[in-house]
Amino acid sequence: MKTLKNKVAIITGSGSGIGKAAAVLFAREGAKVVVSDINEEHGQLVVAEIQKNGGDAFFVKADTSKPEDNEALVKATVHKYGKLDIAVNNAGVAGPIAPTGEYPIDGWLKVIGVNLSGVFYGMHYQLQAMEKNGGGSIVNIASILGAVAAQGSPAYTASKHGVVGLSKAVALEYASKNIRVNSIGPGYIMTPMLAGALDDEAIKMVSSLHPLGRLGKAEEVAELILWLGSDKSSFATGAYYPVDGGYLAQ
């Protein structure tokens, strides 16, 4: 039997990278998948790929930094499939690189708006739908920078630390309602966002920071998301799970 048979899942930022890998895997494991992204072209391509392989999916365009888009996303999901079992809050941006004293204010607002406020807005509406459904699982994608810091990335570091703390708080609030909430801390993963930000030399340097000696793959992170979203992780809530090639063990 497929792991997510009869489950309905929202995955934000699933037009590419980790979100896309999770959407494809979830569909393969039997879930009805709501692909959501700010990039409609990319999102529709993911839906087409899922449907080509026999899966069930549809696309909802959403900017997670807007509360109304998160509300509309959940409403569209429940209207289409009748319920919400799993939410993966994955949408995120890297933001500018600069020391705090020189960091652009608009950059700070954008990173916090998408990476932290977007997760709060998403859960605000997802939790309401899951309560009506009698439970569910929320997986929030943080980062290794949810546990440690990086110079020049004050907004990203702060936002991902915030995601980890917010996930723990919500897990405590909703444990009695059979809603589990966990966060994941990927190391440096080879995604379009990373590839667009680093040249070949920088990628080699970043790869060397991981004891396993390489960057992670989106599909490797998706496997952990799948486990946390599924009933196989039924006693796991309020936790932070690194998937980082040993980065945080140093």
Q: Are 150 and 143 in contact (CB under 8 A)?
A: no
User: Which of these is catalytic: 81, 121, 156, 241?
Assistant: 156
CA–CA dist 58, 47 (Å, integer): 6
Side-chain half-sphere CA neighbours of 242 within 13 A: 16
Q: Which of 141, 113, 165, 168 has its CA nearest to residue 244?
A: 141
CA–CA dist 52, 162 (Å, integer): 38
SS3 for 4? coil
Inter-CA distances, 147 with 200, 217, 249, Å: 26, 20, 11
| Residue 156 annotated as catalytic | yes
Q: Please state the length of the chain.
A: 250
* Residue 224 in tokens: 């952990």
Q: Are 91 and 64 in contact (CB under 8 A)?
A: yes
Dihedral sign computed on CA atoms, order 213, 217, 223, 228: positive
Q: Are 198 and 192 in contact (CB under 8 A)?
A: no
Dihedral sign computed on CA atoms, order 133, 179, 47, 56: negative
The catalytic residues are 156
